[in-house]
Amino acid sequence: LRSKPLKLIITGAPASGKGTQCENLKVKYDLKHLSTGDMLREAVANGTPTGIKAKEYMDSGKLVPDTVVCGIISDSLSSCATGFLLDGFPRTSSQAETLNSLMHDNGLGSIDCVIYLDVNEESLVERVTGRRIDPETGNSYHVKFKPCTDPEVTQRLIQRSDDTEEKVKVRLQEFRANVDAVNGAYGDKVKTVDGNKSVEEVWEQIREIVDKV
């Protein structure tokens, strides 16, 4: 049994498999999953002031301004004394600085480990364009890598508005512009995982890393 709560970040390009691996991580290590992408999509769907500000950025594949994103993460972290798993945050050096101060202010210490999923760009485009979402459960599928087997669910699957080849180019540009600065903020806490492998093989690598933290 761990004596201290785990504080993890999972990072990587769009569709590198962050959400998929978070499903395993949150169960195995009993972590609160904090995905800024999910929080922002929920805010957009509910038409909240945050959602209204975020929508046009998300629809075009651009990053939502730091002030908007830091607001939602601040609310979640302040109620997070147990272990947590940050997914899709921080994405800029300014967000990394904000996270540092928020953790300090909330007596949460520092991040234990950053899992960086490294995937080649050809695969990323294939993963983005083939992803399908069940709007009722939020479950994610892929036409080739994780086909849905229930005909009733299959006919209601949708594609995220930013999951097109055109939008993924913008999302990748945003990612490339910030990845070194964000990873640089965590030094040797960053552990690179070969994300090109199968879901199970990627999970094996992650488990080995986290078990040593």
> Hey, what amino acid is at 6?
L
Site membership for ligand AP5, residue 189 (CB under 6 A): no
Decide if 132 contacts 150 (C-beta within 8 A).
no
Comparison of 3 and 150: residue with beta carbon closer to ligand AP5: 150
Comparison of 3 and 73: residue with beta carbon closer to ligand AP5: 73
Interatomic CA distance for residues 110 and 205, integer angstroms: 23
Q: How far is the CB of 84 from ligand AP5 (least distance, A)?
A: 15
Decide if 82 contacts 5 (C-beta within 8 A).
yes
Residue 19, helix vs strand vs coil: helix
Q: How far is the CB of 2 from ligand AP5 (least distance, A)?
A: 25
Half-sphere exposure in the Cβ direction for 147 (13 Å, CA): 4
Interatomic CA distance for residues 66 and 73, integer angstroms: 10
Residue 201, helix vs strand vs coil: helix
Scan residues 163-182 and list those touching ligand AP5 (CB under 6 A). Answer: 171
Please indicate whether residue 132 is annotated as part of the active site.
no
Interatomic CA distance for residues 111 and 8, integer angstroms: 6
Interface pattern 36-75 for ligand AP5 (x via CB under 6 A): xx--x----------------xx--xxxx----x------
Please indicate whether residue 127 is annotated as part of the active site.
no
Site membership for ligand AP5, residue 76 (CB under 6 A): no
Site membership for ligand AP5, residue 153 (CB under 6 A): no
Q: Which residues bind ligand AP5 (CB under 6 A)?
A: 12, 14-20, 36-37, 40, 57-58, 61-64, 69, 88-89, 91, 95, 127, 131, 140, 142, 145-146, 162, 171, 198-199, 202
